[in-house]
C-alpha cells in the first residue's frame, strides 16, 4: 500500500483555559498526497487554525501525530512554510530583503550569492512583485504584501505550503487575482497546499479536496469532498458549471444545515457568561452592555453564533 506524503494521524488537543481543560480537537485523521490542494473549512472557532498549527509544529498535539514524508513533525521547520492572513513581513526590510531572509535560511549551504539573488527575483516575479523589489512593506498595498508573503514561502521550497485564510483580509477583486495566481503557481510547481478558508467558492475553485470540520468543542472532520473539476479552472466558466454548483451546494449544506448550530461550551468562559447575563437584562440596559461584549474573546463567538 502507498504511504501518504502527509499523514495527520488521529490528532487531538486539549488546552487549559482559566485552569480548566478544554478539548479543541478530537481524532482528526487525514492523509494527503504530494501535490494535492486541500482546503479546510468550518465555522469560526471550530479548530482549523489549531490543526494547521499542529502540522506547522507550532502546537503539540495531546494525542496522535503528524508524519511528513516518513518523518514525524515535532517542531517548526522550513519544510512547512506558513502564510498567515495578515502577511507577517518585517516592516524595516524591503520586499526583496524579506524574501532574502527566508532564502538565506534555507539555501545558505547550497546556493551561492548570485544564485540566491536570481531565486529571490524569480519567486517575486511568480507573484508579479518584481516591480517593487526595493519598496518597504509600508509603501505597498495589502494585496501586494500578501503576494510577498506567498513569494517568501514559495522561495523556501517547502514540502507543504500551509495557508491560514491567506486572502481573508483582501477586497474581492484582489482576492480573485491572487486566487488565480496561486492556481497557476500550484499547477506549474505542483506544491502540496493546505489552505484554511471561510469562502465556499474559493474552496471549490482551488481545491482537489475540501475537508469540512464539525463544530467544536472536540471538533473533528465531518466530511471530505473530492472536487473533480478539470484543471486549469476558469472562474467565469465555472460560475455556470453544473458540477461546480453541485460541489458548492454540498459544502453549503454541510455548513448551514448539518453544522448550523455551533455547540455552546459545556463550561462557558467568563466572556460567554457575561453575554448570557446581557441577554437576560432588560432592553434599556443593553446599550451599555454591548460595549462590554465587543471586547470579549474567542469563547464568546460560539455563544453568539449558537
Ligand atoms: N492556545 C490556545 N489556548 C487555549 N485555547 C485555544 C488556543 N488556541 C485555540 N484555542 C481554542 O481552540 C478552539 C479552536 O480555535 P481555532 O483558532 O483553531 O479556531 P478556527 O477554526 O481557526 O477559528 P477562526 O475561523 O475564527 O479562525 C477555540 O475554542 C479556541 O478558543
Ligand atoms: Mg483560525
Q: What is the pLDDT of residues 236-287, one digit of tens each?
A: 999 999 999 999 999 999 999 889 866 544 444 444 444 444 333 333 333 3
Ligand 1 pocket, mutate which of 19, 43, 50 (most atoms under 8 A from CB): 50
Residue 14 neighbours by CB under 8 Å, 6+ apart: 21, 22, 23, 24, 62
Instruction: For ligand 1, atom 25, name the residue with the nearest CA.
Output: 44
Reported as a single tens digit per residue, the pLDDT across 130-170 is: 999 999 999 999 889 999 999 999 999 999 999 999 998 88
Kindly state the DSSP code that residue 269 receives in the 8-state scheme.
Answer: -
Burial of 104 (0-12, 13-18, 19+ CB in 10 A): middle
Cα 70 to Cα 68: distance, rounded to the nearest angstrom: 5
Query: What residue ranges line ligand 1, CB within 6 angstroms?
Result: 15, 17, 22, 24, 42, 44-50, 216, 298
pLDDT of residue 262: 66
User: Within 13 Å and on the Cβ side, how many CA atoms surround 100?
Assistant: 13
Q: For 70-79, 88-97, 253-262, which range has the lowest pLDDT when averaged over its residues?
A: 253-262
Q: Is the pLDDT reported for residue 226 higher than 50?
A: yes
Stretch 64-77: mean pLDDT: 95
CA of 142 to the centre of ligand 1 (A): 25
Q: What pLDDT sits at residue 304?
A: 30
**Residue 94 — very low, low, confident or very high, per pLDDT cuts 50/70/90?**
very high
The structure's pTM equals: 0.84
Q: Which residues pair with 212 in a beta bridge?
A: 41, 223
Q: To which residue does cell 544564485 refer? A: 115
CA–CA gap between residue 206 and residue 39 (Å, rounded)? 8
66 C-alpha vs ligand 1 centroid, how far in Å? Answer: 19
Helices (H) and strands (E) in the chain, counts: 11, 10
pLDDT top residue among 293 and 66: 66
How far, in Å, CA of 184 to CA of 25, rounded?
33
| Contact present, 232 and 183 (Cβ < 8 Å) | yes
232 preceded by a cis bond (ω within 30 of 0): yes
Q: Which atom of ligand 1 is nearest to the CA of 52?
A: 18
CA of residue 191 to ligand 1 center, whole Å:
27
- Tell me the backbone φ, ψ of residue 146, rounded to 5 degrees: -65, -35
Share of the chain above pLDDT 70, in %: 85
Which helix (DSSP H) or strand (DSSP E) does residue 214 occupy? Answer: none
Amino acid at each position: 500500500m502507498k504511504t501518504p506524503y502527509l499523514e495527520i494521524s488521529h490528532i487531538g488537543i486539549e488546552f487549559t483555559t482559566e485552569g480548566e481543560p478544554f478539548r479543541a480537537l478530537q481524532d482528526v485523521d487525514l492523509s494527503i498526497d504530494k501535490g494535492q490542494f486541500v482546503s479546510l473549512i468550518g465555522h469560526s472557532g471550530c479548530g482549523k487554525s489549531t490543526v494547521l498549527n499542529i502540522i506547522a509544529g507550532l502546537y503539540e498535539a495531546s494525542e496522535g501525530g503528524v508524519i511528513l514524508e516518513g518523518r514525524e513533525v515535532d517542531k517548526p521547520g522550513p519544510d512547512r512554510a506558513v502564510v498567515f492572513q495578515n502577511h507577517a513581513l518585517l516592516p524595516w526590510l524591503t520586499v526583496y530583503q524579506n524574501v532574502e531572509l527566508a532564502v538565506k535560511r534555507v539555501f545558505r549551504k547550497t546556493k551561492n550569492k548570485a544564485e540566491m539573488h536570481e531565486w529571490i527575483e524569480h519567486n517575486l516575479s511568480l507573484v508579479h512583485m518584481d516591480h517593487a523589489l526595493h519598496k518597504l512593506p509600508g509603501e505597498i498595498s495589502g494585496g501586494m504584501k500578501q503576494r510577498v508573503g506567498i513569494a517568501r514561502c514559495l522561495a523556501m521550497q517547502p514540502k507543504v505550503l500551509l495557508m491560514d485564510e491567506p486572502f481573508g483580509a483582501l477586497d474581492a477583486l484582489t482576492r480573485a487575482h491572487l486566487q488565480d495566481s496561486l492556481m497557476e503557481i500550484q499547477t506549474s510547481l505542483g506544491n502540496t497546499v493546505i489552505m484554511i478558508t471561510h469562502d465556499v467558492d474559493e474552496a471549490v475553485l482551488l481545491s482537489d479536496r475540501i475537508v469540512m470540520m464539525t463544530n467544536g468543542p472536540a471538533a473533528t472532520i465531518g466530511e471530505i469532498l473530492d472536487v473533480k473539476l478539470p484543471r486549469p479552472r476558469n472562474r467565469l466558466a465555472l460560475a455556470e458549471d453544473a458540477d461546480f454548483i453541485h460541489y458548492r451546494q454540498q459544502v453549503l449544506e454541510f455548513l448551514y444545515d448539518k453544522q448550523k448550530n455551533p455547540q455552546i461550551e459545556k463550561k462557558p468562559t467568563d466572556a460567554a457568561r457575561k453575554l448570557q447575563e446581557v441577554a437576560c437584562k432588560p432592553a434599556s440596559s443593553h446599550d451599555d452592555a454591548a460595549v462590554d461584549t465587543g471586547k470579549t474573546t474567542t469563547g464568546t463567538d460560539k455563544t453568539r453564533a449558537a
